[in-house]
Amino acid sequence: MTFDPGSSHLQLGIVGCGAMGRGIAQIAAQAGLRVLLYDTNPEAPGAAIKTIGEALAKLEARGKLEAGSASRAQALLSPVADLAALGGADLVVEAIVENLEAKRALIAALEDCVAPAAVLASNTSSLSITAIAARARHPGRIVGWHFFNPVPLMKVVEVVDGLASDPAVGRALEALSRRLGHTPVRAKDTPGFIVNHAGRGFGTEALRIVGEGICGFADVDCVMREACGFRLGPFELMDLTALDVSHPVMESIYHQFYEEPRFRPSVITAQRLAGGLLGRKSGRGFYDYSSPADALPAASGSASASASSTLSTSSAGGAPGIPEELPRSVWVSPRVPAHRARVLEALGDAARVVEAPDEAELCIVMPLGLDATTGALAEGLDASRTVALDVSTPLHLRRTLMTTPRTRPEVRDRAHALCARSGVPVTVIRDSPGFIAQRIVAAIVNIASDIAQQQIATPADIDLAVRLGLNYPQGPLAMGDALGGALVLEILENMQACYGDPRYRPSPWLSRRARLGMSLTETGF
């Protein structure tokens, strides 16, 4: 028998009074649970209760909690001096250091203290629940319960079943999660579970783009924020989480999946971690935070970190540094009529459109998963007069132009001026299969598709976990549906052909559903 998640007498034990342990204790006490806190540092439980009390008092003072609720919740928190004092707990959560042997030793010690029916939950973010439970006398009661920091604000929690976990224990934790005001998602025991696994495409593909010299950190962030709707660009996010956290996670998941190419880390983050450029907390990361808090941070690091003399991220046509001379004539590829119509509508009457490329000063192609060079050669164009425009994102938000190695500077600048004429910001990058947005979004969708293929979680839980846990504008499978599964598949297949890298091989989940015209959220049989 597992505990009753709706019981008014439910008692929760927490081992580890760091930020995660405090956060779990706070939401449990707010939900009316009695909470016992233990830490190897005897002063930590008392300090944690004080910190929680102060946080609750601030919420009450701001009207976020009912009058008197802060003191009632704090009264449910009790420090204990040893593990034996947790013997009456129905559920004990370990939130200690991410070390397998330390967690196994704690489980063994807890099994000597708690009742046979008590549940033992691990808040691990990176270790296998199966491995943690492997030496336990009763492995069926050991389940992952992975919250995200800060726990009171991040309203999603992963309930993770190890190979020996009793499914009833996971169901009880799901119900308790809802009682605590959180949304549970169920996951199998695999590296990164759902959220950290699904999040690999965003940062690693961005790093590869910059590592190839295609553009700078700020260029990638602007495109992903403004054209794709992410709250933060990948480099802004890495600066927020700090490289001493994010880079080890990249390496850990990569190695745990036996060097899966989709998760390949980057030398860029390894070097910057070694150099102490951790992000906001060190004052400098991909951006420099030494300027006043209300100033936009400047890209920091090597020449590739910011726009070079041949690349630019502009705010509007006519702004300082933005070219103003327009091309006298423009040819727009008719290869995909719908794409051509969108581009012509976006450009308006700013330039004369011609029907033959030989008559044009500027030729525009719209490749998917291909570079501008391939686009120009495929249509028999003069590469010195050709640029590529990304049509995978809304053209009224931010436009991305891509040059061939032979595109003349004046052609590039006139294309920039033309695209910025209506006041839409423009990013100009060097030649790259898949631009910026296509590459990163396709990587995100492909990894999520493979999570579904491996049945690590249901499509609904994948989208829910990523949307809540990573604040993406959509779940990754819904993102793929919005772009079009067939289009995502085309991007990946073309990128794989360009690079010859299995990193871009499409997931069978994506490939089959795209070819059948199915939603990526459909499970099928």
What span, in angstroms and rounded, lies between the C-alpha atoms of 379 and 369? 16
Instruction: Report the 10 Å Cβ neighbour count for 328.
Output: 12
**Residue 158 catalytic?**
yes
125 classed as catalytic: yes
Q: At what angle do helices 243-256 and 200-211 cross, to 10 degrees?
A: 100
The strand pair at 312-313 and 399-403 is best described as unpaired
Please give the Cα distance from 399 to 149 (Å, whole number): 34
182 is catalytic: no
Query: Angle 234-241/243-256 helices, nearest 10 degrees?
Result: 110
Number of Cβ within 10 Å of residue 364's Cβ equals: 29
The catalytic position among 196, 252, 304, 494 is 196
> Contact at 8 Å (CB) between 376 and 427?
no
Which candidate in 94, 122, 123, 125 is catalytic? 125
Scanning 276-408, the segments in alpha helix (DSSP H) are 337-347, 372-378
Q: Catalytic residue among 94, 122, 128, 146, which?
A: 146
- The H or E element spanning position 446 is helix 437-453
State the Cα–Cα distance between residues 205 and 446, nearest whole angstrom. 12
In this structure, the dihedral spanned by the alpha carbons of residues 217, 219, 220 and 221, taken in order and rounded to 10 degrees, is 80
Residues in the chain: 525
Query: Using CB atoms within 10 A of its CB, is residue 498 exposed (0-12), middle (13-18) or buried (19+)?
Result: middle
Name the catalytic one among 158, 174, 226, 236: 158
- Residue 306 contacts residue 299 (beta carbons within 8 Å): yes
- DSSP secondary structure letter of residue 278: -
345-354 long-range Cβ contacts below 8 angstroms, 24+ apart:
346/395, 346/396, 346/399, 346/419, 346/422, 346/424, 347/418, 347/419, 347/421, 348/421, 348/422, 350/326, 350/418, 350/421, 350/422, 351/326, 351/327, 351/418, 352/328, 353/329, 354/329, 354/330
DSSP string, 115-138: -TT-EEEE--SSS-HHHHHTT-S-
What is the CA angle 440-445-450, rounded to 5?
125
Residue 326: which region, alpha, beta or left (left: phi > 0; alpha: psi -120 to 50)? Answer: beta
Kindly state the tokens that stand for 472. Answer: 């993406």
Nearest to 224 by CA among 236, 212, 233, 235: 233
Q: Do 245 and 149 meet the contact criterion of CB atoms below 8 Å apart? A: no
Write out the catalytic residue numbers. 125, 146, 158, 196
